[in-house]
Amino acid sequence: IKLAFFVAIVGVVLTVLGVGTEFWVELAPPKSFYNSNCTYFKFFTTGENAVMFQKTTHKLNVAAAMLALFSLFLMVMGAICITMALSKEILFFLKPASVCFILSTLVLLSLVVFHQSVLAFLASDHTIPLHHELSWSVSCIGCAGAILIVGGVLFLLLALPCSPWQRCFAQNSSSS
């Protein structure tokens, strides 16, 4: 249980690191344009307009932000369930924890929504062509989603009433 909890905590830390940083998308004009540097913009905007390369960022899709916050909430709930399972030694809490960690991979869906909003932003004005690259914060979220799936499946396997491995070994030893 402790090893699976460590895996899940790594996923939570990567999610918090990815959502909490502002290095999501790198925007840069082609090299032939006025030699300007690239810039980043945040996943969560405060609503005021920021001018980048004579383009205005609009409020990013609220659905992406809400999905990310909801998945963080699910991660916290899963961590509370695992803490209860470890401190009180009640294995019942493994099932809700596994569901929480598996559902918290909604953060991957928020990446898709975010990417679509970036594409819509870039398509809104063609006066200065920009090229974009998703940055390391997005990589943190993608890795976190994969790790959270693994952690949720591990908790689900631990929550089973009888281990599948014990069933297989019991059948092999009884047949011989």
The mean predicted confidence, pLDDT, of the chain is 75
- Please give the structure tokens belonging to residue 96: 């809700």
Q: How far apart are CA 133 and CA 114, in angstroms?
A: 13
Q: Count of domains in the chain?
A: 1
Q: How far apart are CA 58 and CA 35, in angstroms?
A: 25
1-5, 111-115, 123-127: the lowest-pLDDT one:
123-127
- pLDDT digits 0-9 by tens, 22-38: 777 776 666 666 556 55
> Which pLDDT value is given to residue 169?
66
Parent domain of 115: 2-175
A 10 A CB-CB count for 118 gives 19
Question: Do 7 and 147 contact (CB within 8 A), yes or no?
Answer: yes
29 Rama sector, left if φ>0, alpha if ψ -120 to 50, beta otherwise: beta
Amino acid at 171: Q
- The CATH number given to whatever domain includes residue 62 is 1.20.140.150
